[in-house]
């Protein structure tokens, strides 16, 4: 009669101890490990709901010695500095265009790297400060220490000086994010830099080899080229893996036409220092992926952008039995961001199967806090999350790639509408026609529902955002056709899409 | 399709956005179509080619010159981002004007080629009605032709209004018809009016480095959300545009040195003031181009107030086979894309291809002032009037575009507001966005509103980071709460 299975389970998960202990024996209601986009959002929301919260954030310096303040990847070595540098590059283009619009000033226009990075770092510092202030205002305890689990409900926090302190909490959220991966070849850690280092590099990187084909690689390569540097991108196979490949190729094509050199189907095997300096000179030997061919090149800087590794392997997760994907380091969670250990949750880049984006992490973090402490039932909606790649020609998208759509729905059930467009501002500037491109993928059997939205053009992020909201509301081709465009804009092109891929008709614009 | 006893199945009077769209669609569907287009020169003598207001003296040149002005701002931002720009930076109006005018001319040409390709007959003649099915067209040289058609579409648009009761207004002032075709810089300019035309022109003139003053009788952007309109003018003032509020001009005189002396009355103080300008630009509204059509010969009725042509939901006038679309039609938004769509749908209905009627609700638009204002749906005032204050919830935010930070630009007027019904799921009634690239931001959300978006759905949409548009999806503070709507940090 009866049984003790459930009791055993509760003991295993730590629930039993928790129930037996009074909650007041925990130092905190919630400890968040990782002060980035997801972690801070979660912590602050929990504090607003009246809970006692601690955030631990610690940046292990990069192999080159770079470190930064509170705020995580996005603020310090991601979205923010990336977009600001992208803006610097765009301004270079604007300076060119301006002459066509009648502006007159000296022909010699040079870019000063240090001026730019100083301005960007100043802004980042203000954001670091703003985050510290925000935590203080909400009475969230912040500790600049490295957190590791030592046993259930307990972590040890090690600060820069090596001093250890112990803390306990009823619940934990892991939001430690990721760091750039290295190649594992001779010279990579000693001589190469990554996105962790680029945005605060105290000297101009000069002639640069970017290794990788991720959006990080392409965005960085695009920026450096826009600032006037000699840039080569070494790609092992495809560009922007996981993104719509037609769009990826168009992105790459534009970059190539605008001065970025591509070495396709090569991987570096050795990096050697020829000269020390800021920057120095590096020799790179690379091997073809197709045969025995090797090539060599000399660069001032080698920037590795081949992917990112989850910061989950050195935080004692094994001590409390939190399962992680052995290969990727990512943490599998259920649809309420809970790990296999009931009182441990995770948000952000380290989640398995979720998008690595700041707004996703923020949304997930906030909603998690509301469910844990605010009685909410709302889950994070990961469907149709829009994103934008801020390459020289920006690429915004929401929903499925054409390949994925075909895989899921079968080609005959889809209709793809597409067109080139020529932004009005490009006409007088003399910039290419038949380059900017718009494409939507519709599901014929669901009222021509828009299941994929893709735009390649200026301000792609601004254009895409609203369409993402519309897709959330069930956007169809008919609704697009019924909506009036705002004239003259790039976005309006989606309200007048007529030509389908299946018709084979020419979408070349004749300049009107 | 045979035209029967008429020359054409369809005759379109007016080769602008609406007219051309209608003509081309009808021809594609098999009708025998003719377009007549004629530009009566402005009082200053400005004239232009095929394409109508948008192409020649509206949207296109306006946005290009707006871009020229924005580029000036970018040149100022560039040094903050590390670009070494040699001072001084000057603007050559002539060079810009030539580039813009050349592009417009290429569009005129493009339109002619398109008509030819679709076998639409084009006549450059000034048309007026002889009877219900016939127009008389006069060429520039005075030669007359008679054209008859089964169906006639009037798409003659409008032209800027002159305040003819003001001494010197006609002789010495110019309008938007002229500004885009000036070969020389207008210099120190007085813009009279508070329409989007007035503010957009004043905005780009200031951006190009010209001394600009806007004289308004009462409120800016009548018909638009007034809180947003104030922010628009506030921004312009912060950028150096001078505003003379509650003033009306009474006289314009030419001085011996060629400058214009304007006398005006300050309605608040009752006092008279004077000022000297190189150019006076009237932007006080537009009047429909109907006066010389001899509409009475066909029995076509117009509104006694606006003189616009009265139409029903199918674009039909008081005469069953005569239609009117675009700016000339009463009760229609004066926008290119609505004219185009109305024209296309009309053509399809005439050919029996469709019964679809134009939906004029929730039409998005953007005012391309220095800080752009994009909007769709109801203004806050309209929403309150229609639903009552207790039933409306307004979410809002002051935000700072990331690019403004390093550039050290003032973002005080960068503001978003979403007007919703208070009752869950809180249907979005209107969206108002003030900031860079407002048109791009607004377009997609207009789609959302067309899909019946609710506040809850918009909030479930994940933002794209970093953009300005994401701030729309992050609106949380309501006006009712009284909380500070300033977005902080990253």
- Count CB atoms within 10 A of the CB of residue B76: 14
Report yes or no: B376 and B363 within 8 Å, Cβ to Cβ.
Answer: yes
**For residue A146, what are the β-bridge partners?**
A158
- Chain B positions touching A494 (Cβ under 8 A) are 443-444, 447
* Residue in B156, B242, B234 with CA at minimum distance from that of residue B192: B242
CA A467 – CA A448 distance, rounded (Å): 15
Of chain B residues 211-270, which have a CB less than 8 A from chain A?
Answer: none
Q: Compare all CA atoms of chain A with the CA of B447 and give the residue at the minimum distance.
A: A470
Residue A309 confidence class, pLDDT cut points 50, 70, 90? very high
DSSP string across A282-348: EEEEEEESSSS-EEEEEESEEEE-S-EEETTTTS-HHHHT----TTT-PBP--TTSB-SSTTEEE-S
| Helices assigned H by DSSP within A307-400 | 317-320, 358-373
Query: How many Cβ atoms from other residues are within 10 Å of residue B334's Cβ?
Result: 19
Least Cα separation, residue A505 to chain B (angstroms): 16
Tokens linked to A49: 């709901």
Q: Does residue A488 have a cis bond before it (omega within 30 degrees)?
A: yes
Mean pLDDT of A108-124: 97
Q: Which residues of B are known to be catalytic?
A: 465
| Chain A nearest C-alpha distance from B204 (Å) | 12
Chains A, B: CB contacts under 8 A, how many?
Answer: 305
* Contact by Cβ (8 Å): B294, B152: no
Helix axes B438-450, A460-472, angle to 10 degrees: 10
> For all residues of chain B together, what is the average pLDDT?
96
Using an 8 Å CB-CB cutoff, list chain A residues near B489.
127, 130-131, 134
Average confidence score pLDDT of chain A: 95
Confidence of residue A512 (pLDDT cuts 50, 70, 90): very low
pLDDT of A510 reads 65
- Going by the DSSP 8-state scheme, the letter that residue B153 receives in this structure is E
Interchain proximity B85–A105, CB inside 8 Å: yes
Nearest residue, CB atoms, A484 vs list B74, B337, B452: B337
Query: What is the rounded distance in angstroms from the CA atom of residue A484 to the CA atom of residue B336?
Result: 9
Reported residue count of chain B is: 490
Axis crossing angle, helix B226-238 with helix B196-207, rounded to the nearest 10? 20
Taking only the tens place, the pLDDT of each residue in A6-60 is: 777 776 666 666 565 545 689 999 999 999 999 999 999 999 999 999 999 999 9
Token pair of A65 as six digits = 């010695």
For A281, counting Cβ atoms within 10 Å of its Cβ (0-12 exposed, 13-18 middle, 19+ buried), the class is middle
> Cα dist. A115→A89, A93, A392, B79 in Å?
14, 18, 21, 8
> Is A487 annotated in the active site?
yes
Per-residue pLDDT reduced to its tens digit, B104-163: 999 999 999 999 999 999 999 999 999 999 999 999 999 999 999 999 999 999 999 999
Mutation for B interface: A486, A494, A509, A510, most B CBs within 10 A: A486
In B278-391 the beta strands, taken as DSSP E runs, fall at 279-282, 286-288, 322-324, 365-367, 373-377
User: Hey, are the CB atoms on B465 and A358 less than 8 Å from each other?
Assistant: yes
| Distance separating alpha carbons of residues B445 and B448, to the nearest angstrom | 5
Name B373's Cβ contacts closer than 8 Å, sequence gap at least 6: B224, B228, B229, B231, B232, B366, B367, B432, B433, B434, B438
pLDDT digits (tens, 9 = 90+) for B73-105: 999 999 999 999 999 999 999 999 999 999 999
pLDDT of residue B300: 96
Strands B242-245 and B212-216 come out as: parallel
Task: Work out whether strand B365-367 and strand B373-377 pair parallel, antiparallel, or are unpaired.
Answer: antiparallel
A119 touches chain B (CB under 8 A): yes
Tokens of residue B237, six digits: 């003032």
- Please answer yes or no on whether A469 and B100 come within 8 Å at the CB atom: no
Residues in chain A: 512
Binned at pLDDT 50, 70 and 90, residue A250 comes out as very high
Find all residues with CB under 8 Å of B305, minimum gap 6, and list them.
none
Q: What is the pLDDT of residue B6?
A: 82
pTM of the entire predicted model: 0.94
Decide if pLDDT at A142 tops 90.
Answer: yes
Say what the pLDDT of residue A6 is: 75
Structure tokens at B162: 């002159």
pLDDT band at A5 (very low <50, low <70, confident <90, very high): confident
d(CA B314, CA B332): 12
Whether A487 has its CB under 8 Å from any CB of chain B: the answer is: yes
Helical ranges in A152-214 per DSSP H = 188-191, 195-198
What DSSP assignment string belongs to B119-151? T-EEE--EEEEEETTEEEEE-TT--EEEEEEEE
Please check the confidence at residue A399 and state whether its pLDDT lies above 60.
yes
Place of tokens 């990721």: A178
pLDDT score at B358:
86
Q: Which residue has the tokens 């399709």?
A: B1
Asked if B144 is an interface residue toward chain A (Cβ–Cβ < 8 A), one would say no
Contacts of A488 in chain B (CB under 8 A): 59-60, 63, 439
Cα A99–chain centre separation: 35
- Does A349 show up as a binding residue in the annotation? yes
Predicted local distance difference test score (pLDDT) of residue B490: 57
Of the candidates B156, B143, B117, the one whose C-alpha atom is nearest the C-alpha of residue B24 is B117
Q: What pLDDT digit, counting tens, does each position of A180-212 carry?
A: 999 999 999 999 999 999 999 999 999 999 999
């Amino acid at each position: 009669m009866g049984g003790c299975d459930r009791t055993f389970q509760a003991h295993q998960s730590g629930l039993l101890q928790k129930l037996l202990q009074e909650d007041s024996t925990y130092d905190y209601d919630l400890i968040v490990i990782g002060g980035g986009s997801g972690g801070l959002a979660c912590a602050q929301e929990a504090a607003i709901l009246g809970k006692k919260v601690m955030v631990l954030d610690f940046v292990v310096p990069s192999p080159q010695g770079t470190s930064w303040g509170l705020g995580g990847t996005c603020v310090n070595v991601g979205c923010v500095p990336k977009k600001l540098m992208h803006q610097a590059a765009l301004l270079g283009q604007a300076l060119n265009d301006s002459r066509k619009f009648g502006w007159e000033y000296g022909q010699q226009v040079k870019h000063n790297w240090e001026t730019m990075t100083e301005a960007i770092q100043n802004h980042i510092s203000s954001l670091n400060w703003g985050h510290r202030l925000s935590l203080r205002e909400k009475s969230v305890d912040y500790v600049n220490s490295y957190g590791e689990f030592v046993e259930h409900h307990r972590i040890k926090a090690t600060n820069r000086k090596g001093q250890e302190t112990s803390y306990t909490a009823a619940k934990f959220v892991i939001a430690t994010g990721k760091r750039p991966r290295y190649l594992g070849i001779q010279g990579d850690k000693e001589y190469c830099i990554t996105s962790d280092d680029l945005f605060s590099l105290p000297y101009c990187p000069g002639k640069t080899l970017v290794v990788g084909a991720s959006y990080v690689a392409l965005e960085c390569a695009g920026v450096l080229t826009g600032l006037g540097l000699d840039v080569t991108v070494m790609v092992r196979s495809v560009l922007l893996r996981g993104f719509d490949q037609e769009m990826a190729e168009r992105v790459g094509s534009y970059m190539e036409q605008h001065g970025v050199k591509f070495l396709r189907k090569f991987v570096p095997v050795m990096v050697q220092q020829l000269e020390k300096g800021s920057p120095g000179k590096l020799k790179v030997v690379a091997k073809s992926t197709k045969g025995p061919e090797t090539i060599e090149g000399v660069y001032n800087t080698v920037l590795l952008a081949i992917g990112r590794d989850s910061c989950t392997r050195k935080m004692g997760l094994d001590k409390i039995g939190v399962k992680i994907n052995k290969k990727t380091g990512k943490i599998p969670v259920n649809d309420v961001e809970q790990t296999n250990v009931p009182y441990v949750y995770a948000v952000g880049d380290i989640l398995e199967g979720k998008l690595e984006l700041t707004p996703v992490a923020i949304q997930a973090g906030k909603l998690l806090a509301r469910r844990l402490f605010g009685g909410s039932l709302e889950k994070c909606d990961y469907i149709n999350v829009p994103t934008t790649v801020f390459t020289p020609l920006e690429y915004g998208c929401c929903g499925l790639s054409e390949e994925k759509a075909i895989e899921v729905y079968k080609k005959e059930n889809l209709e793809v509408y597409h067109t080139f467009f020529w932004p009005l501002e490009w006409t007088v500037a003399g910039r290419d026609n038949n380059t900017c491109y718009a494409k939507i993928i519709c599901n014929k059997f669901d009222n021509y529902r828009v299941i994929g939205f893709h735009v390649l053009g200026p301000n792609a992020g601004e254009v895409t955002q609203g369409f993402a909201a519309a897709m959330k509301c069930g956007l169809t081709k008919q609704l697009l056709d019924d909506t009036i465009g705002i004239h003259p804009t790039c976005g309006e092109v989606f309200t007048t899409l007529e030509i389908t891929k299946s018709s084979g008709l020419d979408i070349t614009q004749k300049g009107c | 399709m045979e035209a029967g006893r008429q020359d054409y199945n369809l005759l379109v009077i007016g080769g602008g956005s609406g007219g051309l769209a209608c003509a081309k669609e009808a021809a594609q569907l098999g009708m025998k179509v003719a377009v007549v287009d004629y530009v009566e020169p402005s009082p200053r003598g400005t004239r232009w080619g095929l394409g109508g207001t948008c192409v020649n003296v509206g949207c296109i040149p306006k946005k290009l010159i707006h871009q020229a002005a924005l580029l000036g701002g970018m040149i100022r931002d560039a040094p903050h981002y590390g670009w070494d720009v040699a001072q001084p930076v000057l603007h050559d109006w002539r060079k810009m004007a030539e580039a813009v005018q050349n592009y417009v001319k290429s569009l005129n040409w493009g339109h002619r080629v398109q008509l030819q390709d679709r076998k639409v007959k084009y006549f450059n003649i000034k048309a007026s009605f002889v009877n219900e099915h016939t127009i008389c067209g006069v060429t520039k040289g005075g030669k007359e032709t008679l054209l008859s058609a089964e169906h006639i579409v009037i798409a003659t648009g409008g032209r800027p209004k002159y305040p003819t009761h003001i001494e010197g207004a006609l002789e010495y002032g110019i309008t938007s018809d002229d500004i885009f075709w000036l070969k020389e810089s207008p210099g120190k300019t007085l813009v009279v009016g508070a329409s989007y035309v007035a503010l957009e022109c004043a905005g780009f003139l200031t951006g190009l480095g010209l001394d600009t003053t806007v004289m308004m009788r009462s409120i800016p952007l009548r018909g638009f959300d007034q809180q947003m309109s104030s922010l628009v003018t506030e921004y312009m003032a912060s950028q150096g545009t001078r505003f003379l509020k509650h003033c009306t001009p009474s006289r314009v005189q030419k001085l011996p040195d060629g400058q214009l002396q304007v006398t005006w009355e300050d309605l608040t103080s009752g006092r008279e003031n004077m000022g000297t300008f190189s150019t006076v630009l009237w932007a006080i509204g537009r009047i429909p181009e109907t006066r010389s059509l001899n509409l009475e010969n066909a029995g076509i009725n117009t509104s006694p107030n606006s003189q616009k042509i009265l139409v029903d939901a199918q674009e039909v006038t008081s005469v069953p086979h005569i239609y009117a679309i675009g700016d000339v039609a009463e009760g229609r938004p004066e926008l290119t894309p609505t004219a185009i769509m109305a024209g296309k749908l009309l053509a399809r209905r005439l050919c029996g291809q469709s019964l679809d009627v134009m939906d004029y609700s929730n039409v998005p638009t953007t005012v391309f002032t220095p800080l752009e204002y994009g909007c769709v749906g109801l203004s806050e005032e309209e929403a309150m009037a229609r639903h009552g204050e207790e039933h409306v919830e307004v979410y809002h935010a002051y935000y700072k575009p990331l690019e403004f930070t390093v550039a050290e630009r003032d973002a005080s007027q960068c503001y978003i507001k979403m007007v919703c019904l208070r009752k869950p799921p809180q249907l979005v009634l209107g969206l108002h966005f003030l900031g860079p690239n407002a048109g791009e931001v607004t377009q997609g959300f207009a789609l959302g509103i067309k899909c019946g978006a609710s506040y809850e759905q918009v909030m479930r949409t994940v933002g794209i980071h970093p953009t300005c548009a994401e701030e729309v999806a992050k609106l949380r503070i309501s006006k009712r709460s009284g909380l500070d709507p300033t977005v902080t940090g990253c």
